[in-house]
A = this chain, B = another copy of it.
């Protein structure tokens, strides 16, 4: 265990300093024994963000990470960090601190967690490098709660270098892999430019938590019920491509590519409106900026009365409520991310712009693209279309309705007025698809015909088709990719930035 040895060694250095000589401040610093819940002291720890001039001259206890330390003669300046906040702390030889104590403080490894007792002092000149600019902490006691190893696995200089523009199709940069390999440190955002006070990674995932919250809040207010659907399934529902196989006791099973069958069963069971949030699995060997083998699906399914637009509009409105909620409640996070990754604010219309596929084709053709009526959109054409729509309608969010039947799954309801079209739609953010949805076929006979047309083995989807045999209301729905919504709302360029622990064909760790 070389790493265990390394850890032991790192702890010796500050210990040596501590034990070196007679020291009047001996009791005022040191390495705490591990917190094992030995006691419940009534000590109050103050948050770094609350260290302001209102607390001037108070003695407080603070727990934080040693962000930087800098010894200077008989003084040591520490920056203590707590999430996105930090404050300057001064250990100076005097009544409280000895020479040894200053040396001890100066030698604490970066990223270690310390408990500090100190007096809050107003400063005359603002401290530009800290979030708490008007005060500093004059340290009277300092104890290490958890000592970090001396060498961090991330080279900060590498990590704050901007992403290579136009990174595409598998050319993950070294930076990104280093970040992902050391996500625990990356997420603390020691990577952000300290002077800019950015804390991108934390902000991204706090905002992502907000997306989930707004999604559910909106849908629960609209009368939806949250359901939980199984991820281990007995048969690959869409014919078996791109599906992960699981050993299930003596048999094989599969990981669900979407909760769709289960959402539809709930509709057939009269739940009327359901949603779920959960992992979906795609065994695609795609190494692009927007594909993951495991991602989080925000899924909706809803019975309607006469037209699938009832559902499509409900979904679009849900997304609009999310965008509004993010802009209202997460402005701090949006601005933090923008500092590191500049981007125009996300624009949307109310009600949401709806274009038909044939209109989009006309726009693309006018821009010089050659495409057949029943061709699917390529990624570059999607992006081009996004730019054309933005120019013409000034929105980053729109619905593309009435896809060619030929490019959609077998369970998609054909358009009764045009047999080459279907009652299906995608939704786009900044020119990239974030949702795919449709009216589903609720009639077992038509469903059987369409499955046969697609060459699907009816035996494998028997349970699915049987779900519609005992009275099924017309219904529609869709699935949203959480990581894509986060990425595109913030104008980031890779889903790996918005998946905390991403999975792709080449990455399964941490």
Q: Please tell me if A236 contacts chain B, counting CB pairs below 8 Å.
A: no
Known: A34-B446, A253-B508, A446-B34. A83 touches B270 (CB 8 A): yes
Contacts of A206 in B (CB 8 A): 225
1/0 contact trace for A242-286 toward B, CB 8 Å? Answer: 001111110101010000011001101111100001110101010
1/0 contact trace for A436-478 toward B, CB 8 Å? Answer: 0001001111101000000000100011011101111110000
Q: Please tell me if A35 contacts chain B, counting CB pairs below 8 Å.
A: yes
Tell me whether A226 and B246 are in contact (CB under 8 A).
no
Contacts of A448 in B (CB 8 A): 1, 4
Tell me whether A442 and B249 are in contact (CB under 8 A).
no
Known: A37-B413, A269-B183. A212 touches B231 (CB 8 A): no
Q: Which of B39, B148, B508 contacts A471 (CB 8 A)?
A: B148
Q: Please tell me if A351 contacts chain B, counting CB pairs below 8 Å.
A: no
Contacts of A3 in B (CB 8 A): 444, 462, 465-466, 469
Tell me whether B268 and A184 are in contact (CB under 8 A).
yes
Known: A145-B474, A213-B220, A232-B293. A187 touches B270 (CB 8 A): yes
A415 to B39, CA, bound (A): 11
Q: Among A3, A37, A145, find the residue whose CB has the most chain B CB atoms closer than 10 A.
A: A37
Tell me whether B41 and A187 are in contact (CB under 8 A).
no
A231 to B502, CA, bound (A): 11
Q: Please tell me if A300 contacts chain B, counting CB pairs below 8 Å.
A: no
Stretch at the interface among A98-106, A170-178, A306-314, A340-348: A306-314
Tell me whether B36 and A113 are in contact (CB under 8 A).
no
Q: Please tell me if A156 contacts chain B, counting CB pairs below 8 Å.
A: no
Tell me whether A36 and B439 are in contact (CB under 8 A).
yes
A145 to B303, CA, bound (A): 13
Q: Which of B41, B416, B462 contacts A37 (CB 8 A)?
A: B416
Known: A1-B448, A466-B3, A500-B228. A307 touches B471 (CB 8 A): no
Contacts of A111 in B (CB 8 A): 470-471
Tell me whether B233 and A508 are in contact (CB under 8 A).
yes
Contacts of A185 in B (CB 8 A): 269, 470
Tell me whether B271 and A187 are in contact (CB under 8 A).
yes
Tell me whether B306 and A39 are in contact (CB under 8 A).
yes
Known: A82-B270, A113-B473. A37 touches B439 (CB 8 A): yes
Tell me whether B38 and A416 are in contact (CB under 8 A).
yes
Q: Please tell me if A188 contacts chain B, counting CB pairs below 8 Å.
A: yes
Tell me whether A36 and B414 are in contact (CB under 8 A).
yes
Interface size class for chain A? 35 or more
CB proximity to B under 8 Å, residues A44-71: 45, 63, 65
A147 to B482, CA, bound (A): 37
Q: Please tell me if A374 contacts chain B, counting CB pairs below 8 Å.
A: no
Q: Please tell me if A230 contacts chain B, counting CB pairs below 8 Å.
A: yes
1/0 contact trace for A184-218 toward B, CB 8 Å? Answer: 11111000000000000110011011001100100
Q: Please tell me if A335 contacts chain B, counting CB pairs below 8 Å.
A: no
Tell me whether A294 and B226 are in contact (CB under 8 A).
no
CB of A301 to closest CB in B, whole Å:
13
Q: Which of B112, B469, B500 contacts A148 (CB 8 A)?
A: B469
Contacts of A482 in B (CB 8 A): 228
Ordered by A's residue number, 16 sampled pairs between the chains whose C-beta atoms are within 8 Å are: A1-B458, A36-B414, A41-B306, A43-B305, A45-B305, A111-B470, A145-B474, A146-B471, A184-B467, A202-B270, A229-B501, A232-B255, A244-B248, A277-B277, A279-B279, A467-B510
Closest 3 CB pairs of A and B: A187-B269, A148-B471, A234-B508
Residues of chain A whose beta carbon lies under 8 Å from any beta carbon of chain B = 1, 3-4, 7-8, 34-41, 43, 45, 63, 65, 82-83, 111-113, 145-149, 152-153, 183-188, 201-202, 205-206, 208-209, 212-213, 216, 220, 225-234, 244-249, 251, 253, 255, 261-262, 265-266, 268-272, 277-279, 281, 283, 285, 293-294, 296, 305-309, 413-417, 423, 439, 442-446, 448, 458, 462-463, 465-467, 469-474, 482, 499-503, 505, 508-510
